Chains A and B, each alone.
Chain A
Amino acid sequence: KNQVEQSPQSLIILEGKNCTLQCNYTVSPFSNLRWYKQDTGRGPVSLTIMTFSENTKSNGRYTATLDADTKQSSLHITASQLSDSASYICVVSERTTDSWGKLQFGAGTQVVVTP
């Protein structure tokens, strides 16, 4: 069973509107949670990284939240633009004794912004 579940699987929003993506995880012990943006046919690009002690982090119009108690995270996109059309991937890192920190990837939420 995937340890990182994302919802919705896909969504369509009008340009200028806001949207929120969800990520629930069961990864333990927890080290950090990342959100990546992946344009079609390209590699993922990091948006935010949060540790256990951080509950919100922003990167421009992207704001991520983390509730480590309930093991939930969200990514909020404000005033969406056509360039926001992409897959958004939630990635959770396990805390390990070495520097490896194995990553668990969600399947992603496909966002389509329409004019």
Chain B
Amino acid sequence: DGGITQSPKYLFRKEGQNVTLSCEQNLNHDAMYWYRQDPGQGLRLIYYSQIVNDFQKGDIAEGYSVSREKKESFPLTVTSAQKNPTAFYLCASTATGANYNEQFFGPGTRLTVL
């Protein structure tokens, strides 16, 4: 059963805490992405990684960090420096060089700051 999994589905955080969102894919895709989705807005890119041990900042990277130690995994850490972290977070992956670079999305993690 191939695809992208994200965990947890719901996450609650107290102010000042760091939290890590998990993203795993078994599609053998090279590139992985993290997006943030807020009501009434389009998805915004946080970080992306095209190969293992390399990643690039997206449009809204401040307050977030990532790692890419394995091809299958691209965890996102929301740090206490992120002032408004409550949002729906989506992970995606694509096979670089594939037609149209079609992105496949995971089911998402909803993060709420208490």
Residues in A lying within 8 Å of B, measured CB to CB: 2, 4, 9, 31-32, 34, 36, 41-46, 49, 51, 89, 93, 99-108
Contacts and interface: CB of A to CB of B under 8 A. Distances in A.
Interface residues of B, number: 24
A42 B42 contact: no
User: Chain B's interface: helix, strand, loop or mixed, by majority?
Assistant: mixed
A106 B41 CA distance: 7
A93 B100 contact: yes
A105 B44 CA distance: 8
A49 B101 CA distance: 10
B96 A43 contact: no
Nearest to B98: A99
A68 to B, nearest CB: 15
| Max count, chain A CB within 10 A of own CB: residue among B40, B41, B42 | B42
Interface in B28-45: 40-45
A93 B107 contact: no
A27 B34 CA distance: 21
B102 A99 contact: no
A55 B30 CA distance: 30
A56 to B, nearest CB: 16
B105 A99 contact: no
A65 B101 CA distance: 20
B108 A43 contact: yes
Interface string B72-114: 0000000000000000101010001100111111111010000
Contacts of A45: 105
A104 B42 contact: yes
